[in-house]
Amino acid sequence: MKILPGEGTYKKGGEMLTDKIAVVTGANKGIGFEICRQLAQKEVKVILTARNEERGNKAKEKLQNEGLNVVFYQMDVTSEESVQQAADYVMENFGKLDILVNNAGIGVDHDNPGLQANIDRIKEILDTNTFGPLRVCKAFTPIMIKSNHGRIINVSSGLGALSNMGSGASGYRISKAALNAVTRIIASELEDTHIVVNSMAPGWTRTDMGGPKARRSVEEGADTVVWLAVTDNLPTGRFFQDREEIKW
Protein backbone atom coordinates (compact mmCIF):
# COMPACT_ATOMS: atom_id res chain seq x y z
CA MET A 1 0.00 0.00 0.00
CA LYS A 2 1.23 3.49 -0.85
CA ILE A 3 2.44 5.51 2.15
CA LEU A 4 2.22 9.27 1.57
CA PRO A 5 5.04 11.54 2.83
CA GLY A 6 4.71 12.10 6.58
CA GLU A 7 1.79 9.67 6.79
CA GLY A 8 3.28 6.32 7.40
CA THR A 9 6.02 6.76 9.94
CA TYR A 10 5.97 6.80 13.70
CA LYS A 11 8.44 6.16 16.45
CA LYS A 12 8.12 3.91 19.42
CA GLY A 13 11.14 3.19 21.58
CA GLY A 14 13.28 4.86 18.93
CA GLU A 15 12.11 2.46 16.24
CA MET A 16 10.87 3.84 12.92
CA LEU A 17 7.86 1.94 11.61
CA THR A 18 5.87 2.39 8.44
CA ASP A 19 2.61 0.64 9.25
CA LYS A 20 -0.64 2.45 8.92
CA ILE A 21 -2.67 2.20 12.11
CA ALA A 22 -6.42 1.50 12.14
CA VAL A 23 -8.99 1.29 14.92
CA VAL A 24 -12.24 -0.61 14.27
CA THR A 25 -15.12 -0.61 16.77
CA GLY A 26 -17.44 -3.56 17.41
CA ALA A 27 -15.06 -5.86 15.59
CA ASN A 28 -15.35 -9.22 17.37
CA LYS A 29 -17.74 -10.50 14.68
CA GLY A 30 -19.71 -9.64 11.56
CA ILE A 31 -18.76 -6.79 9.24
CA GLY A 32 -16.35 -5.22 11.77
CA PHE A 33 -14.33 -8.43 12.05
CA GLU A 34 -14.11 -8.69 8.25
CA ILE A 35 -13.05 -5.01 8.00
CA CYS A 36 -10.14 -5.85 10.36
CA ARG A 37 -9.18 -8.81 8.20
CA GLN A 38 -9.25 -6.86 4.92
CA LEU A 39 -7.33 -3.89 6.36
CA ALA A 40 -4.68 -6.17 7.88
CA GLN A 41 -4.36 -7.97 4.54
CA LYS A 42 -3.39 -4.56 3.13
CA GLU A 43 -0.48 -4.27 5.59
CA VAL A 44 -2.39 -2.00 7.96
CA LYS A 45 -1.76 -2.64 11.66
CA VAL A 46 -5.24 -3.11 13.10
CA ILE A 47 -6.42 -2.43 16.63
CA LEU A 48 -9.51 -4.63 16.82
CA THR A 49 -11.79 -3.31 19.55
CA ALA A 50 -14.85 -4.86 21.17
CA ARG A 51 -16.85 -4.33 24.35
CA ASN A 52 -16.35 -7.91 25.54
CA GLU A 53 -12.75 -8.82 26.32
CA GLU A 54 -13.11 -12.58 25.83
CA ARG A 55 -14.91 -12.28 22.47
CA GLY A 56 -12.47 -9.59 21.34
CA ASN A 57 -9.41 -11.64 22.22
CA LYS A 58 -10.80 -14.71 20.43
CA ALA A 59 -11.42 -12.63 17.31
CA LYS A 60 -7.89 -11.20 17.47
CA GLU A 61 -6.38 -14.68 17.84
CA LYS A 62 -8.33 -15.90 14.81
CA LEU A 63 -6.82 -13.15 12.65
CA GLN A 64 -3.35 -13.59 14.16
CA ASN A 65 -3.57 -17.29 13.26
CA GLU A 66 -4.06 -16.15 9.65
CA GLY A 67 -0.72 -14.33 10.00
CA LEU A 68 -2.30 -10.89 10.26
CA ASN A 69 -1.00 -7.92 12.27
CA VAL A 70 -3.84 -7.37 14.74
CA VAL A 71 -4.00 -6.41 18.42
CA PHE A 72 -7.02 -6.21 20.71
CA TYR A 73 -8.14 -3.40 22.99
CA GLN A 74 -11.41 -3.35 24.96
CA MET A 75 -13.76 -0.49 24.07
CA ASP A 76 -17.45 -0.05 24.82
CA VAL A 77 -18.69 2.81 22.65
CA THR A 78 -21.45 3.66 25.14
CA SER A 79 -18.86 4.55 27.81
CA GLU A 80 -16.99 7.82 27.51
CA GLU A 81 -14.37 6.50 29.97
CA SER A 82 -13.80 3.29 28.00
CA VAL A 83 -13.51 5.23 24.72
CA GLN A 84 -11.04 7.72 26.20
CA GLN A 85 -8.93 4.87 27.64
CA ALA A 86 -8.75 3.30 24.19
CA ALA A 87 -7.72 6.61 22.62
CA ASP A 88 -5.01 7.07 25.28
CA TYR A 89 -3.78 3.53 24.57
CA VAL A 90 -3.46 4.30 20.85
CA MET A 91 -1.69 7.60 21.47
CA GLU A 92 0.76 6.11 24.00
CA ASN A 93 1.56 2.96 22.04
CA PHE A 94 1.40 4.10 18.42
CA GLY A 95 1.51 7.90 18.53
CA LYS A 96 -0.76 8.24 15.51
CA LEU A 97 -3.94 7.03 13.88
CA ASP A 98 -4.56 6.74 10.13
CA ILE A 99 -7.95 5.01 9.93
CA LEU A 100 -10.93 5.03 12.31
CA VAL A 101 -13.93 2.83 11.53
CA ASN A 102 -17.10 3.39 13.57
CA ASN A 103 -18.72 0.02 12.95
CA ALA A 104 -20.29 -1.00 16.30
CA GLY A 105 -24.06 -1.04 16.06
CA ILE A 106 -27.28 -2.45 17.48
CA GLY A 107 -30.90 -2.61 16.26
CA VAL A 108 -32.81 -3.33 13.98
CA ASP A 109 -36.10 -2.61 15.84
CA HIS A 110 -38.57 -3.68 13.13
CA ASP A 111 -41.22 -4.07 15.84
CA ASN A 112 -40.90 -0.41 16.88
CA PRO A 113 -42.92 1.74 14.46
CA GLY A 114 -42.82 5.51 14.90
CA LEU A 115 -46.44 6.05 15.90
CA GLN A 116 -46.21 3.44 18.68
CA ALA A 117 -42.58 4.14 19.43
CA ASN A 118 -40.93 2.91 22.58
CA ILE A 119 -38.81 6.01 23.19
CA ASP A 120 -36.55 4.38 25.79
CA ARG A 121 -35.64 1.75 23.22
CA ILE A 122 -34.84 4.45 20.67
CA LYS A 123 -32.62 6.23 23.21
CA GLU A 124 -30.74 2.98 23.82
CA ILE A 125 -30.14 2.48 20.09
CA LEU A 126 -29.03 6.09 19.67
CA ASP A 127 -26.58 5.70 22.53
CA THR A 128 -24.70 3.00 20.60
CA ASN A 129 -25.30 3.86 16.93
CA THR A 130 -25.11 7.66 17.04
CA PHE A 131 -23.56 8.88 20.30
CA GLY A 132 -21.09 5.95 20.19
CA PRO A 133 -19.40 7.17 16.98
CA LEU A 134 -19.60 10.76 18.26
CA ARG A 135 -17.80 9.77 21.49
CA VAL A 136 -15.22 7.84 19.48
CA CYS A 137 -14.63 10.77 17.08
CA LYS A 138 -14.29 13.20 20.01
CA ALA A 139 -11.66 11.02 21.68
CA PHE A 140 -9.67 9.86 18.63
CA THR A 141 -9.77 12.83 16.26
CA PRO A 142 -7.20 14.81 18.31
CA ILE A 143 -4.68 12.04 17.46
CA MET A 144 -5.40 12.52 13.75
CA ILE A 145 -5.28 16.30 14.03
CA LYS A 146 -1.72 16.04 15.40
CA SER A 147 -0.57 14.55 12.10
CA ASN A 148 -3.17 16.46 10.04
CA HIS A 149 -4.33 13.40 8.15
CA GLY A 150 -6.63 10.41 8.50
CA ARG A 151 -9.80 8.65 7.43
CA ILE A 152 -12.96 8.31 9.48
CA ILE A 153 -15.58 5.92 8.15
CA ASN A 154 -18.99 5.73 9.83
CA VAL A 155 -20.84 2.50 9.09
CA SER A 156 -24.38 3.73 8.50
CA SER A 157 -27.26 2.06 6.66
CA GLY A 158 -29.60 2.51 3.73
CA LEU A 159 -32.33 2.54 6.43
CA GLY A 160 -30.88 5.87 7.58
CA ALA A 161 -31.14 7.54 4.14
CA LEU A 162 -33.67 10.41 4.31
CA SER A 163 -34.09 10.21 0.53
CA ASN A 164 -35.48 6.70 0.95
CA MET A 165 -37.02 6.86 4.45
CA GLY A 166 -39.75 4.34 5.18
CA SER A 167 -41.76 2.99 8.09
CA GLY A 168 -40.83 0.78 11.05
CA ALA A 169 -37.47 0.23 12.75
CA SER A 170 -37.82 3.77 14.03
CA GLY A 171 -34.91 3.65 16.50
CA TYR A 172 -32.51 2.15 13.98
CA ARG A 173 -33.57 4.50 11.18
CA ILE A 174 -33.33 7.59 13.39
CA SER A 175 -29.94 6.47 14.77
CA LYS A 176 -28.42 6.01 11.31
CA ALA A 177 -29.93 9.22 9.86
CA ALA A 178 -28.46 11.03 12.88
CA LEU A 179 -25.14 9.23 12.38
CA ASN A 180 -25.10 10.67 8.86
CA ALA A 181 -25.59 14.10 10.43
CA VAL A 182 -22.59 13.37 12.68
CA THR A 183 -20.56 12.59 9.55
CA ARG A 184 -21.53 15.92 7.95
CA ILE A 185 -20.86 17.93 11.11
CA ILE A 186 -17.43 16.42 11.73
CA ALA A 187 -16.43 16.57 8.05
CA SER A 188 -17.37 20.24 8.06
CA GLU A 189 -15.43 20.95 11.28
CA LEU A 190 -12.38 19.22 9.78
CA GLU A 191 -12.63 20.70 6.28
CA ASP A 192 -9.36 22.63 6.68
CA THR A 193 -7.46 19.44 7.54
CA HIS A 194 -6.48 16.34 5.56
CA ILE A 195 -8.89 14.24 7.62
CA VAL A 196 -11.58 12.75 5.38
CA VAL A 197 -14.87 11.74 7.02
CA ASN A 198 -17.54 9.68 5.23
CA SER A 199 -20.59 7.51 5.89
CA MET A 200 -21.22 4.26 4.07
CA ALA A 201 -24.01 1.67 3.83
CA PRO A 202 -22.85 -1.97 3.68
CA GLY A 203 -26.15 -3.26 2.28
CA TRP A 204 -28.12 -6.18 3.72
CA THR A 205 -25.35 -8.49 4.91
CA ARG A 206 -25.32 -12.01 6.39
CA THR A 207 -24.33 -11.41 10.03
CA ASP A 208 -26.04 -11.89 13.39
CA MET A 209 -27.75 -8.55 12.71
CA GLY A 210 -28.58 -9.12 9.04
CA GLY A 211 -29.59 -12.78 9.47
CA PRO A 212 -28.89 -15.78 7.21
CA LYS A 213 -31.20 -14.66 4.37
CA ALA A 214 -29.32 -11.42 3.67
CA ARG A 215 -28.05 -11.05 0.11
CA ARG A 216 -24.47 -9.99 0.81
CA SER A 217 -21.47 -11.78 2.28
CA VAL A 218 -19.42 -10.06 5.00
CA GLU A 219 -16.65 -9.65 2.39
CA GLU A 220 -19.05 -7.56 0.28
CA GLY A 221 -20.34 -5.68 3.34
CA ALA A 222 -16.81 -4.67 4.38
CA ASP A 223 -15.48 -3.82 0.91
CA THR A 224 -16.54 -0.16 0.65
CA VAL A 225 -15.24 0.61 4.16
CA VAL A 226 -11.79 -0.65 3.22
CA TRP A 227 -11.93 1.20 -0.09
CA LEU A 228 -12.80 4.44 1.75
CA ALA A 229 -9.95 3.78 4.18
CA VAL A 230 -7.16 3.32 1.62
CA THR A 231 -8.12 5.13 -1.60
CA ASP A 232 -6.42 8.44 -2.40
CA ASN A 233 -8.18 11.69 -3.31
CA LEU A 234 -11.62 10.94 -1.91
CA PRO A 235 -14.16 13.68 -1.11
CA THR A 236 -15.25 14.28 2.49
CA GLY A 237 -18.71 14.48 4.07
CA ARG A 238 -20.39 12.06 1.64
CA PHE A 239 -22.42 8.85 1.78
CA PHE A 240 -21.26 5.75 -0.15
CA GLN A 241 -22.40 2.28 -1.10
CA ASP A 242 -20.60 -0.15 -3.41
CA ARG A 243 -17.74 2.36 -3.83
CA GLU A 244 -20.14 4.98 -5.23
CA GLU A 245 -21.71 8.06 -3.74
CA ILE A 246 -25.40 7.70 -2.82
CA LYS A 247 -28.07 10.18 -1.70
CA TRP A 248 -28.43 11.01 2.00
Instruction: Indicate which residues carry an active-site annotation.
Output: 172
Least distance CB 149 / ligand NAP (angstroms): 25
Q: Does 150 bind ligand NAP (CB under 6 A)?
A: no
Q: Does 174 bind ligand NAP (CB under 6 A)?
A: no
Least distance CB 179 / ligand NAP (angstroms): 8
Q: How many CB atoms lie under 10 A from the CB of residue 111?
A: 10
Integer Cα distance of 223 and 243 in angstroms: 8
Q: Applying CB under 6 A, which of residues 20, 21, 24, 26 lies at the interface with ligand NAP? A: 26
Q: Applying CB under 6 A, which of residues 104, 122, 161, 197 lies at the interface with ligand NAP? A: 104
- DSSP character string of 185-223: HHHHHTTTTTEEEEEE---SBSSTTT-TT-SB-HHHHHH
Q: Does 55 bind ligand NAP (CB under 6 A)?
A: yes
Measured in degrees and rounded to the nearest 5, phi and psi for residue 49 equal -115, 150
Amino acid identity of 4? Answer: L
Q: Applying CB under 6 A, which of residues 24, 46, 103, 171 lies at the interface with ligand NAP? A: 103
Report in angstroms the alpha-carbon separations of 240 from 33, 72, 157, 168.
20, 28, 10, 23
Please tell me whether residue 110 adopts helix, strand or coil conformation.
coil
Q: Which is nearer to ligand NAP, 45 or 173 (CB)?
A: 173
Which residues bind to ligand NAP, rule: CB under 6 A? 25-26, 28-32, 50-52, 55, 76-78, 103-106, 128, 155, 157, 201-202, 204-205, 207-210, 214
